[in-house]
Structure 1
Amino acid sequence: MISLDEAVTARLESHGQRFEVLVDPDAALGIRRGEFDGDLEDVIAAEDVFEDASSGDRPPENALEEVFETTEPLEIIPEVIKRGEIQITAEQRREMQDRKHNQLVNEIARNAVNPQMDDAPHPPERIERALDEAGFTIDPMEPVGNQIDDALDALRPVIPIRFDEVVIAAQIPADYAGSAQAQIRQFGDLEREEWQPDGSWVGVLRFPAGLQNDFYDLVNELTSGEAETRIIKDEDDLETR
């Protein structure tokens, strides 16, 4: 369950009765869209249905039976969310907006590059400033993924940007290969790998282009800077870093 501070109220008025439930705001939106596949008990603040959640008053059981044909809270709660209204305070809306804004910035930073600077990643701070300059405001009631295209459209007049993936080959010396390759191979999609006669390991990974610097930092940390990496442009073109 979540805390009361994290919950919003979903309210349904029907048959002269009011029914309220306390739920995580993002989960409530997912339930309304049919996109929620988690455990309902993890995203509610109370396994109960209220007439007035602020006072703790409950509706009569016969009203629950009349409207929902059951008195089981876990069956009623999704129905209240789907058929009712989600009540969000101004403070909750600001908190949701701030959280989703940060998620948006991080998602763009993970995937975006600067095509005018040899596809170098854009730091989150640059994306943050550009979104502010573009006047883009995220909708707290919409999933972040649904707003990325609009955010990119707003960013393009401000900074050169595109979403891309990168393919990088890393050769890990034999002294580090045993332990390092296990962590490196999990960084992205491992497209191929090969153990060399000298005991070194070569892996080719594909991942969002915005994570290049994180990848280099990880490889350098695991190998004390002794690894070699190459950006693979195509099968015949290898660029040594």
Structure 2
Amino acid sequence: MISLDEAVTARLESHGERFEVLIDPDAALAIKRDEFEGDLEDVIAAEDVFEDASRGDRPPETALEEVFGTTDPMAIIPEVIKRGEIQITADQRREMQEQKHKQLVNTIVRNAVNPQQDDAPHPPERVERALEQAGFTVDPMEPVENQVDDALDALRPVIPIRFDEVVMAVQLPADHAGSGQAQVREFGDLQREEWQSDGSWVGVLRFPAGLQNEFYELCNEVSSGEADVRVIKDEDDIGTR
């Protein structure tokens, strides 16, 4: 379950009665779109249906039976959400908007590059400033993934930006290959790997281009700065060195 502070109220008025449930806002939207795939118990603040959630008042069981054909809260909660309206306060809307904004910036930073600077990643601060300059406002009621394309359209007149993936090769020396390769191989999509005759390990990975700096940092960390890392510009060049 989630805390009351994280929940929004979904409300349905029917047959002269009011029914309210407390639910995570993103889960509520997913349920409304028939896209929810998780466990309902994990995204509600109470396994209950209220007449007035703020006071804790419950509707009569006869009303539940009349409107929903059951008194089971776990069966009724999705119906209230699908057939009713999602109520959020100004504070909840502001908090949701701030959270979605951070998620959007993080998504852009992880996946985008600057095509005018050899596909270097954009720092979060630059993306933040560009979104502000472009006047782009995140919709707190819409999933972040549905807003990325609109955000990119708004950003392109302000900064050079492109979503891309990068292929990078790393060679870890023998002294660090054993433990280091286990961490490196999980960073992205491992395209190929080889153990060299000197005991070193070579791996080639594909991942969002905005994570290049993080990959360099990881490789240096697991090898005490002795890793050899390079970007593969031509995928025909993927091979050992």
TM-score bucket (shorter structure): over 0.9
Write the distance in 2 (CA, Å) between the matches of 1:28 and 1:235: 43
Residue 116 of structure 1: SS of its match in structure 2? coil
2: CA distance, partners of 1:157 / 1:4 = 41
Runs of 4+ in 1 over 6 A off after TM superposition: none
- More deviation in 19-28 or 97-106? 19-28
Question: Residue 50 of structure 1 aligns to which amino acid in structure 2?
Answer: F
Equivalent residue, structure 1, for 2:69: 69
2:172 and 2:54 map into 1 onto residues whose CA distance is 60
1:106-160 CA deviation, whole Å, 9 max, x = no partner? 0000000000000000011100000000000010010000000000000000000
Matched to 1:163, the amino acid is F
Instruction: Give the superposition deviation at 1:33.
Output: 0.9
Deviations 1:83-125 (A, max 9, x none): 0000000000000000000000000000000000000000111
Question: Map of 1:214-225 to 2, 5 A cutoff?
Answer: 214-225=214-225
Counting only pairs closer than 5 Å after superposition, residues 11-30 of structure 1 correspond to structure 2 as 11-30=11-30
Q: Distance in 2 between matches of 1:35 and 1:230?
A: 40
Q: Which residue of 2 aligns with 1:38?
A: 38
The aligned counterpart of 1:148 is 148
- Please state whether the residue corresponding to 1:203 is helix, strand or coil: strand
TM-score scaled by length of structure 1: 0.97
| CA RMSD between the two structures | 0.9
Letter in 1 for 2:73: P
Q: Partner residue of 2:124?
A: 124
TM-score (norm 2): 0.97
- Residue number in structure 2 paired with 1:112: 112
Q: Distance in 1 between matches of 2:5 and 2:62?
A: 30
For residue 233 of structure 1, what is the aligned residue in structure 2? 233
Distance 1:235 1:168 in 2: 10
Paired with 2:188 and 2:3, the residues of 1 have a C-alpha distance of 35
- Please name the residue that 2:2 is paired with: 2
**Aligned runs of 1:71-110 on 2, under 5 Å?**
71-110=71-110
CA shift for structure 1 position 235: 3.6
Counterpart residue identity of residue 142, structure 1: E
Q: Secondary structure at the match of 1:75?
A: helix
SS in 2 for 1:175: helix
Gaps of 5+ in 1: none
SS of residue in 2 equivalent to 1:226: coil
Structure 2 gaps of 5+ residues are none
1:182-193 matches, within 5 Å, as 182-193=182-193
Aligned to 1:133: 133
Q: C-alpha separation between the residues in 1 aligned to 2:60 and 2:176? A: 67
**Which one-letter code corresponds to 1:136 in the other structure?**
F
Displacement after TM superposition at 1:55 (Å): 1.1
Helix, strand or coil: the match of 2:147? helix
**In the comparison of the two structures, how many residue pairs are matched?**
238
- 1:182 maps to amino acid: A
Counterpart position of 1:58: 58
Shift of 1:224: 1.0
| Distance across 1 between alignment mates of 2:3 and 2:103 | 22
Equivalent position SS for 2:225: coil
Separation in structure 1 between the aligned mates of residue 36 and residue 219 of structure 2, nearest angstrom: 37
Deviation larger for 224-233 or 202-211: 224-233
Quote the offset at 1:236 in angstroms. 4.7
